[in-house]
Amino acid sequence: MGTSEETSNSIASGSLEPMGQLRGASNGSLLCRDDLGDLFVYKPVSGESPLWDFTRDTLCRREVAAANLDGLLGWDLVPPTRWTEEGPMGPGMVQQWVEEVDELRPVNIFDRHEVPTGWLSILQAIDQDGSEVTLAHDPREQLAQMALFDAVINNADRKAGHVLADKNGRVFGIDHGVCFHEEPKLRTVLWGWVDTPIPARLLSDLIALGTKLGNYETQIDPFLSEPESGELRDRIAELVHTEVFPRPSAQWPSIPWPVF
């Protein structure tokens, strides 16, 4: 994988000042402030933990590729994101901070009989107290877009905690480091539309995306390997051909763990 001097976003003014490390992150993630006082998440290549199935030192680049692909789609699901060569700990990904509002979470766990009306139930389980609980998500179109987006980028880790809602109720998807693998790895909590028709508008967006990507796209391909770029285009073509949301595979876990 290489880097690209082109980016679909221009964010963070001046230098980044680290304010602290984000607890619970599996890779080094810093909360930073720019010269204007705005907050950003900065993930340096130097802070990445190696994974057996993903090429070393590529997770940050995959995050930028996911954000750029979202930009090509025009869905605004990923917070503004860019690549930097001059971060406090070297090259890495910079992404605008989203202040999550817990009460507005679009994916959550409920007591079995307290799932909000209209929400789509994904999984039933027993919690640590022995109570029956249900994992469910909001049926809003933004989450349908995100489910389709995850199928396109082959997201192996769409946890409930990677779907945020801000104070205005706007939904964002974050943590796209384990995406774009050339082998099928889709794992997500957004299975509420399995085998249902892709809405015409979203299908049209996918067709347009395939056209924009062509054989080479400067905002995407420099961040991926050649096989990964090829498989990305094949996944888009398959979704356009079938015109339905994909179903979970029986060959690997369909829901990431832990859910949050």
pLDDT digits (tens, 9 = 90+) for 10-65: 566 667 888 888 876 767 789 999 888 899 999 999 988 888 889 999 999 999 99
Q: Position of tokens 């290549």?
A: 45
- pLDDT surpassing 80 at residue 193: yes
Write down the domain spans for the chain: 17-100+139-242
**Number of continuous H segments (helices) and E segments (strands) in the chain:** 4, 10
Report phi then psi at 167, rounded to 5.
-65, -20
**pLDDT at residue 13 in the model:** 61
Question: What are the φ/ψ torsions at residue 105 (nearest 5 degrees)?
Answer: -55, 125
Confidence of residue 206 (pLDDT cuts 50, 70, 90): very high
pLDDT at 7: 38
CB 165 within 8 A of CB 100: yes
Give the integer Cα–Cα distance in Å for 19 and 40: 10
- C-alpha dihedral sign at 202, 206, 207, 212: positive
Predicted TM-score of the model (pTM): 0.91
pLDDT band at 194 (very low <50, low <70, confident <90, very high): very high
Statement: residue 198 has pLDDT above 70: yes
Condensed to tens digits (0 to 9), the pLDDT of residues 234-259 reads 999 999 999 999 999 888 889 887 77
Mean pLDDT of the chain: 90
- CA–CA gap between residue 113 and residue 133 (Å, rounded): 8
Give the type of residue at 154.
N
pLDDT digits (tens, 9 = 90+) for 13-26: 667 888 888 876 76
Residue 187: count other Cβ atoms within 10 Å of its Cβ: 20
> What is the reported pLDDT for 6?
38
Q: Say how far apart CA 190 and CA 136 lie, in whole Å.
A: 9
